[in-house]
Amino acid sequence: MVENAFVGRDALQQRKEWKERLDVLKAEEKYEEALAAALAFLEKDDPDTEIMMDAADLYFMAGDYVQARAWIDRILLIAPQHLAGRVLLARICILGNRAPDGLAILERMLEWNEEIPQELQEKMKYTLEYFRCLEGADDTIALYPRVKAFIKSGFKANGPGIHTEVSDCPDFAAAESIKRGILEKEIPLLEKLAMFNSFAGAYYARGRLAEAELLLVTALEIDEHDQDTLRNLAVLVAECGDFDGAMEYAAQLPKADFCLLNLLREKSSHQ
């Protein structure tokens, strides 16, 4: 069927129909089929940066940052100022522990472009929201004045949304609000897991263990095998004095984590 899809049809019409099919698959969250359709089109036709961007986005949503980056590189060879490609590249850098590189990309974009589409601004915002939860993030952001200014104006424009400062959330209801905000975000599951763990870490650092547990348990409902969530829950439960529960979480890790086990043993011996 794919082999004959382009036979006897006008090229523009073919492309329009293929793109519509791709958009339907994405809307139905049939991401594997959508990726297969995008790759099939790109095999048959000349480079199409819009569908190449679809492929990059779908790889990114699947957590395959290597393939996503490979497609972005191809896009930027054809269109060096491609905004969506640059935003996705920045997000990959930030989520892949290369925050300065990602922030530098966004800084240049904000310098060059007065008009960035709202959809891309939203993607920039929730990636930066995640990053700001990490230790030392504000010091790093301070080195990029346009990004810092964008955060301030962007978060005001973002409405109620997710609070980015846990210190602004004094009670359990606020943690519930954060939970709903993350769940409602149209972002890859890996990003949701990272955000839940980051916000939980901020609560944990302030001794607000109930709020941290709420967010970690929600993350575990998304992916019961996520290693970061399991480790963090083990530490949190041990902090609450439930060492049997902590060991149960630790036992669910695919590989034994001796550092974690030693930490749990030390906490148990000091009780």
- What domains are defined for the chain? 1-80 (1.25.40.10), 87-159 (no CATH), 169-271 (1.25.40.10)
pLDDT of residue 88: 93
Question: In whole angstroms, what is the distance from residue 201 CA to residue 40 CA?
Answer: 42
pLDDT of residue 252: 83
pLDDT of residue 163: 41
Using the CB atoms, write b or e for 4-35: b if 16+ within 10 Å.
Answer: eeeeeeeeeebbeebbebbeebbeeeebebbb
pLDDT of residue 157: 29
Question: In whole angstroms, what is the distance from residue 28 CA to residue 260 CA?
Answer: 40
Q: Which two tokens stand for residue 97?
A: 């522990």
pLDDT of residue 87: 92
The answer to whether the CB of 141 falls within 8 A of the CB of 132 is yes
Nearest alpha-carbon partner for 95 in 52, 152, 57, 134: 134
In the numeric block, the tokens 């996705």 are attached to 88
Question: In whole angstroms, what is the distance from residue 204 CA to residue 235 CA?
Answer: 10
Give me the residues of the chain with pLDDT under 50, please. Answer: 1-8, 155-170
Question: In whole angstroms, what is the distance from residue 223 CA to residue 53 CA?
Answer: 27
Q: Which two tokens stand for residue 243?
A: 């060492």
Question: In whole angstroms, what is the distance from residue 205 CA to residue 212 CA?
Answer: 9
CA 3 to chain CA mean position, Å: 35
Question: In whole angstroms, what is the distance from residue 93 CA to residue 18 CA?
Answer: 31
**Residue 170 neighbours by CB distance under 10 Å:** 10
Question: In whole angstroms, what is the distance from residue 216 CA to residue 239 CA?
Answer: 14
**Residue 196 neighbours by CB distance under 10 Å:** 29
Nearest alpha-carbon partner for 212 in 200, 225, 228: 200
pLDDT of residue 264: 67
In the numeric block, the tokens 């669910």 are attached to 252
Question: In whole angstroms, what is the distance from residue 16 CA to residue 1 CA?
Answer: 17
The answer to whether the CB of 163 falls within 8 A of the CB of 179 is no
Predicted confidence (pLDDT) per residue in 122-180, tens digit: 888 888 888 888 878 888 888 888 888 888 876 432 333 334 444 444 456 777 878 88
Rg (CA), the chain: 21
pLDDT of residue 46: 65
**Residue 207 neighbours by CB distance under 10 Å:** 8
